[in-house]
Amino acid sequence: MPVTPPSSLLPAIGAVPFVRDLATHGDRPAVLTPDGEISYADLAERVRTTAARLGAARRLVLVVGANTTDALVAYLAALYAGHPVLLVPGGNDTAVTALVSAYDPDVVVGPGDGGWAVTDRRAASAHDLHPELALLLSTSGSTGSPKLVRLSHTNLQANAESIAEYLAIRPTDRAATTLPLHYCYGLSVVNSHLARGAALVLTDLSVADACFWELFRATRATTFAGVPYTFELLDRVGFAAMNLPHLRYLSQAGGRLAPEQVVRYAELGRRAGWDLFVMYGQTEATARMAYLPPDLAADHPAAIGVPVPGGAFRLAPVDDHPDPEVGELVYAGPNVMLGYATSPADLALGRTVDELHTGDLARRTAGGLYEIVGRRSRFAKILGLRIDPQQVETMLARHGVSTTCVGGDSELLVAAVGDGDPRRVRRLVAEEVGLPPRAVRVLVLAELPRLATGKPDLPALRALAGAAGAPAPPPAAAPSGDLCRLYAEVLDRTDVTPDRSFVDLGGDSLSYVEMSVRLEQELGHLPANWHILPIAELRAPARRPGRRRSLETSVALRAAAIVLIVGSHIPLFTITGGAHLLLAVAGFNFARFQLTDADRRDRLRQIRSGLARIVLPTTAWIGAVMLVGGDYRLSTLLLVNSIVGPPGSETGWHFWFIEAVVYLVLALAALLALRRVDRLERRHPFAFPLALTAVALLGRYDVFGLDARYDLPSALVAGWLFTLGWAAARADGMRQRLLVTAATAVTVPGFFGQPQREALIVAGLALLTWLPTVPSLSAVNRVAGVLAASSLYIYVTHWQVYPHLRELPLVALAASLALGIGYAALVNRAWRWTASRHPGRPTLADQPSG
């Protein structure tokens, strides 16, 4: 039945065919929710009832979008009655208010005090509405902006049919609404499935929510749509291991999915029996313009594919682009918008756009596939250089850094997600694009600010950068009480907030030494477990005149032990046991910094990086000594001297301690790589190392008589000290600490037959178990911090120093310590330089040794 509008040019009721024909699908399910099922016949009746409530006089209807039955019915009812729909985001009062103010809708449909409500603001429209106008949507990223995309009835129907065709949507398909209704991509899922009589699993749950997957399985859903951020969430929730027997395909759009992700999900789908459709679109084309056939995804993961049915691409020349095969992607088809609207007056306009200049730079491959290579409008001119932020993002992704880049007038803002090293990122960008480092601003964030669509919120990102202020050189010392600034300086982070801890911010045992010393200077004391406390909980007490300083116990032991080791080797004095005490400290630090709450794979990655920080500088030094004529053997270089000998070697024993740590950590990594063992350690963090200690004591007491015959490696004979240090770190409460102390007091005496040596180890382990800090002085703290941080390198290098200075024992000690400290500085600098050029290799990882 035709409407009787002011103008005879206005369309008939149900001008969009898939809306008009809802009832033809009969009793087939249309909408599935946790509350039940709605058939197409029922949905059609609800739509007709609401359409009657909206009236026959054509008016501008604002609908507050939400993934609910009420919002869906309101949207369809407005289209059914021929009213232009202004679809706005739900849950965003600011955007709704802004668009109501800008466009003065005649009717507002949205949640009210008593449920969903239709609010008539006037009986007849205040606007001149073009006959073809069906829908108004915000452009991507401009929620609440007065700039809208004008879409026609033909646009909606053509795009729904096109999508349904290339996805081969069946009446039996059931699509979960993983994207917002007001977002063009999410809306196209609704339109295309309704056009084929398929069902919608209507939900606003996130894919990160376990309840979403319960609903997905219960409703036998066959598909869902995702933007790149959705796939990040899928990785986090272990999607690859899920059992989804009815899943038929995934679709992806809303931004570029990294090629390696495309390959991974395409292969995952191939093995599991579902397809991955990578797609490309814009709101201006009623959602989608291209798709990549699933069978091509693994081999062409960087491509957006071919035009959707009914559409066509051409490449418009770009005068200032260096590659002649690259042009601006221009699209033509029946889904291209009528044009933009920036005010109510534009609602009277007809078609002002015949083809869509996407603003994306693309090339066409020999196989006929299109690839996006950049964004024309995102080019920035910084210090006279023309920069493409998307190319910078792609380059950094190759180096394992996930970023979003935004060009400014005088700098390039690079927002890095996760634990990226700002200096490394800045160096990579500067070298790639030719900008000076001062023109590259790196902001490290735990999460990018995102729009409801999952896309990065660039205005919010700029606001964050503005709030952070211009980067300033690190201060020589943080002002008293300014702990966030101190953390930022020591850890070289720009995302330090009072609610985060040292461990949260990626601290390791190397930075731990400096951090503990600097914190003690600021606070005058170190709270127990300060490294896992939020910064906000670290507060300096009222200072009393003459208050003594304190030093973190493990730092003090590392510093004291290395001095005792070198001094006893000279010998300046004879106080032995320092290396065995360091073995316990190594276990203590292994527990605190490598057995974190991270998942199993991240733990193993941390352990691997920690081993590299021990093995590489050690073997580099041994190799250098061998080159200049030293008497080390190949077995020493390979750190297998304690296994293959030769027996009686005068220098082979030099690195027994390092071999022991390496063997122990390798064995523990292999053990913890087993899922069941990993879970067991997490469930029983104290009992687990205590049980390992009981096993390790078989070697300490040579229960099987093997040591006498085979000269067992120190890792088997002394490994119980490492696991005791681990247990000391996990001991919680007096009973557990007493148990560690008792185990130490019972097992250490008699091991060497040297009471003084054994007493040193017992005392050191007791301090480690019971006292988080020991009294100290400010000057002592600074010296101890340097010695502790350099202890591994002092141990490695001192063998080549003191033999030449035995006649001057004090000089020999000072020279040995100085060379080790210098080698530590050199290694750390080389490590940072190498890491910046070879992503994926170990970075400033934890060092479990002393």
Q: What is the pLDDT of residue 540?
A: 53
In this structure, what token pair is assigned to residue 518? 């600097």
Contact 603, 611 (CB under 8 A): no
Q: Which of 183, 174, 152, 198 minimizes the C-alpha distance to 22?
A: 198
Contact 70, 78 (CB under 8 A): no
Contact 16, 23 (CB under 8 A): no
3-state secondary structure of 628: coil
Q: What is the pLDDT of residue 476?
A: 33
Residues 6+ apart with CB under 8 A from 621: 796, 797, 823
Q: What is the pLDDT of residue 8?
A: 33
| Alpha carbon distances (Å) from 275 to 142, 201, 250, 267 | 32, 19, 6, 9
| Alpha carbon distances (Å) from 254 to 140, 194, 299, 475, 722 | 9, 21, 21, 42, 51
Residues 6+ apart with CB under 8 A from 317: 327, 328
- The sign of the dihedral angle between the CA atoms of 505, 510, 514, 516 is positive
Q: What is the pLDDT of residue 506?
A: 62
Contact 496, 444 (CB under 8 A): no
Give the CATH number of domain 17-364. Answer: 3.40.50.12780
- Report the alpha-carbon distance of residue 253 to residue 291 in Å, rounded: 9
- Report the alpha-carbon distance of residue 144 to residue 156 in Å, rounded: 22
Q: What is the pLDDT of residue 474?
A: 36
Contact 725, 583 (CB under 8 A): yes
- The sign of the dihedral angle between the CA atoms of 648, 651, 657, 659 is negative
In terms of DSSP H, where are the helices of 55-152? 69-80, 93-103
Beta bridge partners of 415: 404, 443
In this structure, what token pair is assigned to residue 195? 């056009």
Element (H, E) at 616: helix 600-627
3-state secondary structure of 159: helix
- Report the alpha-carbon distance of residue 590 to residue 538 in Å, rounded: 24
Q: What is the pLDDT of residue 410?
A: 65
Residues 6+ apart with CB under 8 A from 11: 3, 82, 131, 132, 153
- Report the alpha-carbon distance of residue 182 to residue 369 in Å, rounded: 30
- Report the alpha-carbon distance of residue 544 to residue 308 in Å, rounded: 75
Strand 223-226, strand 174-176: pairing? parallel
Q: What is the pLDDT of residue 116?
A: 87
For 649-711, what is the HEC assignment? Answer: CCCHHHHHHHHHHHHHHHHHHHHHCCHHHHHHHHHCCCHHHHHHHHHHHHHHCCCCCHHHHHC
Contact 326, 361 (CB under 8 A): yes
Q: What is the pLDDT of residue 423?
A: 80
Residues 6+ apart with CB under 8 A from 736: 686, 730
pLDDT digits 0-9 by tens, 15-36: 799 999 999 999 999 999 998 9
529 alpha carbon, distance to own chain's centre? 26
| Alpha carbon distances (Å) from 403 to 383, 430, 436, 442, 444 | 22, 15, 19, 10, 9
Angle CA 25–30–34, to nearest 5: 160
Q: What is the pLDDT of residue 508?
A: 60
List the domain boundaries for the chain: 17-364, 381-468, 500-547, 570-778
Angle CA 348–352–357, to nearest 5: 140
Q: What is the pLDDT of residue 233?
A: 87
Query: What amino acid occupies position 82?
Result: G
Provide the 10 A C-beta neighbour count for residue 262: 22
Parts of the chain with a pLDDT under 50: 1-14, 141, 384, 470-481, 542-547, 835-836, 838-850
Query: What amino acid occupies position 407?
Result: G
Q: Which of 151, 181, 158 minimizes the C-alpha distance to 307?
A: 158
The distance in angstroms from the start CA to the end CA of the chain is: 86
- Report the alpha-carbon distance of residue 178 to residue 819 in Å, rounded: 60
Q: Which of 407, 409, 351, 415 minimizes the C-alpha distance to 383?
A: 409
Backbone angles phi, psi at 117, to 5 degrees: -135, 150
Residues 6+ apart with CB under 8 A from 761: 577, 580, 581, 584, 721, 744, 748
Domain 381-468 has CATH 3.40.50.1100: no
